[in-house]
Structure 1
Amino acid sequence: MTLIEKILANHANLTSVKPGDIVDIDIDVRLARDFGGANVVKNLQDNGLRLADPKKTFFTFDCNPTGSDQKYAANQQLCRQYAREERVGVYDINSGIGTHLAIDKGMATPGSTVVSTDSHANILGAIGAFGQGMGDRDIAAAWARGAVWFKVPESAKIELTGRRPSNISAKDIVLNLLHHFGANSLLGLSVELVGKVADQLTLDERVTISSMATEMGAIAIFFSPSDKVIEYTKERCSRPVSPVFADEDAEYKLIEKIDVSEFYQAIALPGKPHDVVPVTEVQGTKIDSVFIGSCTNGRMEDMRTVARILNGKKVAPGIVLKIVPSTDEIWNACMEEGLIKIFKESGALLGNAGCAGCASGQIGQNGPGEKTVSTGNRNFEGKQGKGEVYLSSPAVAAASAVAGHITTPEALPADPSVFKPSSELKYQIKVREEKEEEKPMVLEGKVWLVDEDNIDTDMIFHNRYLAITDISQMGQYTFDNLKGWEDYASKSEHGDIVITGKNFGAGSSRQQAVDCFKSLGNLCILAKSFGAIYERNAINAGFPILTYNDLSELDLENRDTIRIDLQKGRITNLRNNKNLMIHPFSEVQMKIYQKGDLLAISR
C-alpha cells in the first residue's frame, strides 16, 4: 500500500484498502478555527449532538488573533463558551496557526489523522500524517462521531533528483512543482515526495511544500518521516509514535522524476498560484508592500532567513513590510534570538502569531492598486485584499522590501528604488456645476421620538462599519447599536425627522454618524444639545440640525407630522396645530446649508 492507504487502513481497522474504497476512519485530532468554528457549534446544537471525545477536540483561533473584527470576536466568544461547557481545548488568540500547533504541540504524530476547518490541514503531510480540510458540517460530524467517511484516493510518487542549488528555497521548490504540474494535473491524488533531496529537507521546509498541496489540487503532499522529524514529534507527544511508510511494491497512478538542479528562484504572478515565472522575469517591478508569514512561510527557519537579509538594512522608503510568525512559540524564539529587534529596526510591522492577511482577518491585507510580494500560498484576486499579490520565498520577499522592487538577495541594489510623482496628473480636478437651487426653508416630516440622552456615535453608526465610504450604503446601519432601535433603518421612511435628548452624537469624530441619516433620506435632527464634533460635522455636511429647550407644549406622539421653519425657528405639530419657538439656524449654518456643504463654499 501507499502511505495514505496505510494510514487510512489503520484508522478504518482494515488490513488493506485500495483506491476508490469508501471507508470510515477514526480521527485522532479534530480542529475548528475561529473561521467556521461557530458554525460547527451551531450544527452540533441544532442537531442535538454531543462530542465523541472532548480530549481529541480543539478550537484554534488563528484567522483573527487580534479580535479586530466584531464578527470574529463574536464567533470566538461563542466557541469559548461552548468549550467551557463541553471541556474542549482552546488554543486562543495568543497561540498561532492551528495546523502548526497540531505538529508543535504533539497533537498530531506521523501516521495519525487530523481534520480541520482549514483547507490547508493537509500540511500534516510534512510529518507523514493525514490531514484534511473539511466544511463545517463535516467537522461537526467528526466531533460527534469521532470518525468520518473518506474515499481512498489514487497516489502519485514524485522523486526529486539532482543537486539542489544553494539559492533554491523550499518555497522555490514548491513553486517550481506548481509550475510543472499546474493547478489540476494532480487533482484528487495523494502525492508522495521521495528521493535524496526530499529526505534531506528539514521539517520547516517540508511544512512549506506540504502547505501548497491544495493549490495543486492534490489531497496532500506526503513526506516519509525522517529520523529528525520522528524525534521532534516524540519530544512533544506523550503517546507512542508509530510512523507509517509506503511499501516497496505499492502501486501509483503516476510516477515521475524531476531534476531540482534545473529549478530557479520563482515567483507566482498575481491572480494564479500556478502562474509561476523566474524572479528575473519581473525583477525591477516597483512594489508597495511585502507580507512575510502564513502557514507556508511563518516557521523559524523562514524568520531567520528574513533576519539575515534585513540585518543592518532599512525597508525602502514608502514600502510597508509586515511580518507574522506562524506560532507564539516561534514569535518568542524570534525575541530570544534578537530577530524581533532586527525586524523593528528595519522598519517592519510585526503581528501576533496567526494566519494574518492570508485569511483576511489580520494584518497583511492590501488596497486597490497596491502591489504586494507575499510568502503566502494563494494570490487569487481578492484573497489578500484588493491589490495584486506576487507569491515568493521569504528571501525574495525580504530582499524586495529592502530594494523597493522585486528582486533577489543576490541582486540587492546599493540604493533602493523610490516612488516618483507622475509627470501627468492622475487625478483631474472636478468642478461641479453650480446649480442655483434654493434649499427649502420649511421642512415637513413624521417624527421618531428617540427619548434618550448621550447617544454616542458608536450607537448611531458602529465602528465595525467605518470602512464604508459610499454614503448610499451607510443608511442600513443607522442606530443598529442603539438598544431598542436596532431596526430603525428598516422602519425609517424618506422624509422622517428624529427628535432626541441631550448630547446627541457624543464620542468619535466619524462623519458616517451624520451621513447615515442623509443616506436614509431623513430631513432633520432635533436635540436639546449635540456633541461638539457631531454638531460641526452635521452643519458642514449641510444636514439640518436644530436645538430646543422644551417641546412638551407640542404634545408630540411618535409618527406625528411636524413642520419646522429653519430660518424663524418655529416648530408646529400638524396633528393639533400647536407650535413653539426653537433655536433657528445661525448665519453660517444657513450659508452652508444653502450651498450644500462646507466644501462648496471653499471652491
Structure 2
Amino acid sequence: MERKSHTIIEKIIANHSGKELVKPGEIVDISIDVRLARDFGGANVVKNLVDNQLVIENSDKTFFTFDCNPTGSDQKYAANQQKCRLFARDFNIRVYDINSGIGTHLAIDKGLAVPGSTVVSTDSHANILGAIGAFGQGMGDRDIAAAWARGAVWFKVPESVKITLNGKCPEGVYAKDIVLNLLKHFGASSLLGKSVELYGEEVDKLTLDERITISSMGTEMGAIAVFFPPSDEVIQYAKERSGEDFEPVFADGDANYAETFELDMATFIPAISLPGKPHDVVPVEQVKGTKIDSSFIGSCTNGRMEDMRAAARILKGRKVAPGVVLKIVPSTDEVWNACMEEGLIRIFKDAGAMLSNAGCAGCAAGQVGQNGPGEKTVSTGNRNFAGKQGKGDVYLASPATAAASAVAGHITTEDDLPERPSLFEEGHGKQEAVLVTHHDNEKEKPSVIEGRVWLIIEDNIDTDMIFHNQHLAITELSEMGKYTFGNLKGWEDFATKAKPGDIVITGKNFGAGSSRQQAVDCFKSLGVQAVLAESFGAIYERNAINAGFPIMTYESVEELDLQNGNVITVEFETGKITNRENGKNVMVQPFSDVQMEIYRKGDLLHV
C-alpha cells in the first residue's frame, strides 16, 4: 500500500473526503464544515436554491454574513439582505447581520471554523482561514448553493509549495509589508493554483492578526491558500472561541512539495503597491512625497485590533492633514467595541478621521472607502485594480504607512513625519451599487465547436477588467454582454465587435480577482463559445466550469500561427485545437470528467 505523505491541504482534503490518500490533480468531493454567503452574492445563492427546489443539508453549518454593505444604505443591498433574512427564517439559518462584521473574520472569532476544518464563502478571500490552518475557499453562487444543499463540493487537489522565511524581520516592517514583499517576489501568477505553506522562526512568532493579513492576500498571489501551521496561541484561541477539542492539522515531515523556496526576511522593507496592480510592489521610499487625497485603514486584510492600535499610535496627538480624508473601518463589531474600550475611537475622532461600523468597507463598493476620479488614496486593502475601490489611484500599504501618510498629506513612513503637512487640491469619493447576477439554462451542448478567434494575449486580466464592478447591479443575463472587457484598455469596444460563436484566446491568470459570476456570464450573454487561456484565476475557473461555460488551458498556441479573425475548431474531449485557415493543430488540456458532466448538464445545479 502506498504510504501517506500529505501536505496541509492534502491532509485536510483527505480528512474531508473519506480517503486515506489524495494526490495533486485528483478531483474529489469534500465535505464542508462551514458554509457562508454574504449580502454580496447571498441573494443569488437563495435564487439558485429556490429555482432548483433545493433544501439546506445542515442549517447548523450554514450562515449569512452581511459584511459588504453593513450600513444597509443602498436599496439594492437592502433588498438582497432582506431576501436572505426571509430565507434564513424559513430554514433556521443563523444571520450575522449588518452589526457583526466581516464573515471570514467571524468564522474565526465566533469559533465556527477551527484548524483543520473546511470553509466556503462567496468571499474570494475566504482563504484567509489559512491563518488558523483551516481550508477556506471563495466560490461563486452556484458552488455555494451546491454546498448548502449537498454539504459537499468537488475540488481538485492542488499542488503545494513550501516557503521558508529565514532571518529576522527588520524594525518597522509589518505583516502587510511581509506579504507585499512576497507579492513582489512571486508576482500575481507564479503561485497560481498552488497551496502555499509558510515556515520559519519569525513565522512561528506571528500573531493571529498578522497571519490573517498575510493569508488574506494569497488571492492576489493567485494561490489557492496560504497556510500557517497553527501555533499554540492560535490553537488555544480556536479552542476558547469554538468550545471544541480538535486535532490541528500539520504537514507530514516527508510531504511532497511541487516547489520549495527560502527567502531572507532581513531583506524585507516597508513596501507599497503602485495603483492598478497589487503585485506592482516598490519600496515606500520610491514614492515617498507623493501627494495624496485620502487614506483608508480597514478591510479583511488590515481591520484587526493590532492594525487599529498601530494607526492610533501614530494618530495620537496629531491631526489628519488639511483636506485629507481618513476613513477607518474595523473588521468586526468586537474590534470596534475594543477600540471604544481602549480609547482608540477618541484618538481617531480627535485626529479628524471618519469611523464607520464594522464591515468590508469599499472593496465591494458597499461601504466607505471608495475614491473619486483623480483621487490618490493610500489603502490597507488587498486590491487596487482599476475601479476596484473607486475611480482614483489606490496605493496598498500597511496601517502604519496609511496613518502616517494621512497625517503628512503625502506618502511617507511613521519614522519620517514632517513638521508641517502637505497641502493639496480637493478630491472626493463616490460609491456605486452592486448586486447579483442571473444565469441561463442552456442544456444540449456540442463536444466540438468552431468559431472566429479573438487573440487578447495579456496576462492577469482581472474580473474588474472583464466586467467592471459599477455594473454589478445588473441582474439580467441579456444585459451583461455589452459591458464585456469594458474596463480592459484597448478592448473597451469588444462587445460591439464580438459575434455569437466567437472564441477568446488570452494569457495567464485570466479572471484574477473577485468571485463575481458576471465575469463569466457576460461572455455567455454575448454568445462567446469558449475562452482559452494559459491559466485561470482559481475562482474564475470554478465559476466557468460550474456555469457550463467552456474554458480550457494551453501551454502554447504559437504553432497554430493564429491571427485575429481566423476560424478554429476546439474539441473538448480530446483537447485538439485546429486552425481551419492552415490546418495546423495543437493539443491542450481536455475537459475533465467533472467539467464535461457539468457542461453537458448545462449547470452545476441541474440534475
User: Structure 1-normalised TM-score?
Assistant: 0.70
2:307 to 294, 302, 315: 302
Please name the residue that 1:245 is paired with.
Answer: 250
User: In the TM superposition, what whole-angstrom CA distance separates every residue of 1:357-411 from its partner, at most 9, and x where no partner exists?
Assistant: 1121001000000000000000000000000000000000000000000000000
Please name the residue that 1:596 is paired with.
Answer: none
1:486-565 to structure 2, matched below 5 A, reads none
Matched, 1:374 2:379: yes
CA contact (8 A) 2:7 2:160 kept: yes
Please name the residue that 1:83 is paired with.
Answer: 88
| Greater C-alpha Rg | 1
User: In the TM superposition, what whole-angstrom CA distance separates every residue of 1:211-246 from its partner, at most 9, and x where no partner exists?
Assistant: 000000000000000000000000011222220000
Please name the residue that 2:518 is paired with.
Answer: none
1:45-60 to structure 2, matched below 5 A, reads 45-60=50-65
* Paired amino acid for 2:314: I
Matched, 1:343 2:348: yes
Please name the residue that 2:416 is paired with.
Answer: 411
Q: CA deviation at 1:420?
A: 6.3
Indicate the SS of the match to 1:410: coil
Question: What is the rounded CA distance, in whole Å, between the counterparts of 1:16 and 1:30 in structure 2?
Answer: 25
Question: What is the rounded CA distance, in whole Å, between the counterparts of 1:276 and 1:367 in structure 2?
Answer: 23
Indicate the SS of the match to 1:277: strand
Indicate the SS of the match to 2:424: coil
Please name the residue that 2:126 is paired with.
Answer: 121
Please name the residue that 1:19 is paired with.
Answer: 24
User: In the TM superposition, what whole-angstrom CA distance separates every residue of 1:45-85 from its partner, at most 9, and x where no partner exists?
Assistant: 00000000000000000000001111100000000000011
1:108-257 to structure 2, matched below 5 A, reads 108-257=113-262
* Paired-residue identity, %: 76
Please name the residue that 2:13 is paired with.
Answer: 8
Which consecutive segments of 4 or more residues in structure 1 shift more than 3 A?
none
Please name the residue that 1:270 is paired with.
Answer: 275
Deviates more, 1:233-242 or 1:117-126: 233-242
User: In the TM superposition, what whole-angstrom CA distance separates every residue of 1:393-437 from its partner, at most 9, and x where no partner exists?
Assistant: 00000000000000000000011011269xxxxxxxxxxxxxxxx
User: In the TM superposition, what whole-angstrom CA distance separates every residue of 1:548-572 from its partner, at most 9, and x where no partner exists?
Assistant: xxxxxxxxxxxxxxxxxxxxxxxxx
Q: How large is the RMSD of aligned CA atoms in angstroms?
A: 1.2
* Paired amino acid for 1:16: L
* Paired amino acid for 1:281: Q
Indicate the SS of the match to 1:409: coil
Question: What is the rounded CA distance, in whole Å, between the counterparts of 1:16 and 1:338 in structure 2?
Answer: 52
Indicate the SS of the match to 1:401: helix
Question: What is the rounded CA distance, in whole Å, between the counterparts of 2:168 and 2:107 in structure 1?
Answer: 32
Question: What is the rounded CA distance, in whole Å, between the counterparts of 1:16 and 1:304 in structure 2?
Answer: 44
CA contact (8 A) 2:308 2:339 kept: yes
Please name the residue that 1:321 is paired with.
Answer: 326
Question: What is the rounded CA distance, in whole Å, between the counterparts of 1:37 and 1:59 in structure 2?
Answer: 7
Please name the residue that 1:595 is paired with.
Answer: none
Question: What is the rounded CA distance, in whole Å, between the counterparts of 1:370 and 1:420 in structure 2?
Answer: 9
* Paired amino acid for 1:72: Y
CA contact (8 A) 2:68 2:359 kept: yes
Indicate the SS of the match to 1:25: strand
* Paired amino acid for 1:351: S
Question: What is the rounded CA distance, in whole Å, between the counterparts of 2:105 and 2:48 in structure 1?
Answer: 26
Cα pair distance change 1:89/1:414, threshold 3 Å: same
Please name the residue that 1:360 is paired with.
Answer: 365
Question: What is the rounded CA distance, in whole Å, between the counterparts of 2:11 and 2:139 in structure 1?
Answer: 21
Question: What is the rounded CA distance, in whole Å, between the counterparts of 2:425 and 2:45 in structure 1?
Answer: 50
2:71 to 44, 48, 66: 66
Q: Which has the higher contact order (CA 8 A, sep 6+)?
A: 2
Gaps of 5+ in 1: 422-464, 466-603
* Paired amino acid for 2:131: A
1:409-448 to structure 2, matched below 5 A, reads 409-419=414-424
Please name the residue that 2:102 is paired with.
Answer: 97
Indicate the SS of the match to 1:72: helix
CA contact (8 A) 2:293 2:424 kept: no
Question: What is the rounded CA distance, in whole Å, between the counterparts of 1:121 and 1:419 in structure 2?
Answer: 38
User: In the TM superposition, what whole-angstrom CA distance separates every residue of 1:320-350 from its partner, at most 9, and x where no partner exists?
Assistant: 0000000000000000000000000000000
Q: CA deviation at 1:255?
A: 0.2
User: In the TM superposition, what whole-angstrom CA distance separates every residue of 1:147-193 from its partner, at most 9, and x where no partner exists?
Assistant: 00100000000000011101100000000000000000000000000
Indicate the SS of the match to 2:72: coil
1:259 to 239, 264, 280: 264
Question: What is the rounded CA distance, in whole Å, between the counterparts of 2:280 and 2:190 in structure 1?
Answer: 14
Indicate the SS of the match to 2:230: coil
1:24-39 to structure 2, matched below 5 A, reads 24-39=29-44
Q: CA deviation at 1:270?
A: 0.2
Please name the residue that 2:290 is paired with.
Answer: 285
Question: What is the rounded CA distance, in whole Å, between the counterparts of 1:217 and 1:286 in structure 2?
Answer: 31
Question: What is the rounded CA distance, in whole Å, between the counterparts of 2:259 and 2:365 in structure 1?
Answer: 36
Question: What is the rounded CA distance, in whole Å, between the counterparts of 2:424 and 2:28 in structure 1?
Answer: 58
* Paired amino acid for 1:210: S
* Paired amino acid for 2:292: I
Cα pair distance change 1:135/1:420, threshold 3 Å: closer
* Paired amino acid for 2:420: D
1:312 to 317, 323, 341: 317
Gaps of 5+ in 2: 1-5, 427-470, 472-607
